[in-house]
Structure 1
Amino acid sequence: MDVGASAWLVILLALVLANLPFFNERLFSVVALKGAAGQAPVKPFFVRLLELTVLFFIVGGIGRALEGRIGTVFPQTWEFYAISACMFIVLAFPGFVVRYLKKKH
């Protein structure tokens, strides 16, 4: 896989995984949560943030692995991780809007 294709793969993967916590009520889209008696389960906001954090590290690990397959893995400082975390949060904005800001009719 060349450099351009792997870069676009990481960006697309980040976009999908950043929105994943907001579009379902399962933990990591796999584990069903238990709801109150007779009610559908609702995933709390802090669980969505925790899931978003774990998915951020998964995307970072995949990006690092792809970089290692291309050539030398460059050392990163805290600025890189701060910017990439902010970018991951921005990529999660559409899912947040659909989940919390869109009016339900």
Structure 2
Amino acid sequence: MDQNSAVWLLLVTALVLANLPFIMVNRLFLMIKVESKSFIVNMIEFLTYFGITGIFAYLLEKKVMGHVAPQGWEFYTIVFFMFMIFAFPGFIYRYNLRNYLHKA
């Protein structure tokens, strides 16, 4: 796998995992069926998927480049906020658009 395809794989994975807690309304971690999820449960699931994405990115960088570059706290803060931006479509669907569509 070359570096370009690894970056695209990571971006697609991050987009999917960031939106998953908000799109899967009746599923917890894709396996456990629940009646509904609260905002807190969605945030816990979101943070778990953020951690999984981070581990995947670490392993992918190690495999493609052979080493992992050291990063400071600024990098992790920016990555977290990028993950939040990736989750924006799912968040809007869950808390705004879904209610609007059910009323219409």
TM-score (structure 1 length as normaliser): 0.90
SS of 1:11 mapped into structure 2: helix
Partners of 1:48 and 1:8 in 2: how far apart? Answer: 26
Cross-structure match for 1:84: 79
Cross-structure match for 1:31: 32
In the TM superposition, residue 89 of structure 1 has moved relative to its aligned partner by 0.4
Structure 1 residue ranges (4+ consecutive) displaced by more than 6 angstroms after TM superposition: none
Q: How does 1:15-94 map to 2 (within 5 A)?
A: 15-24=15-24, 25-33=26-34, 41-70=35-64, 71-94=66-89
In the TM superposition, residue 29 of structure 1 has moved relative to its aligned partner by 1.1
Cross-structure match for 1:14: 14
SS of 1:42 mapped into structure 2: coil
User: How much is the aligned-residue C-alpha RMSD, in angstroms?
Assistant: 0.8
> Number of aligned pairs?
98
Identical amino acids, percent of aligned pairs? 44
Unaligned runs of 5+ in 1: 34-40
Which has a greater percent of helix? Answer: 2
TM-score (structure 2 length as normaliser): 0.91
* 1:16-70 deviation line (CA, Å, top 9, x unaligned): 000000111211111112xxxxxxx111011000100010010110010010012
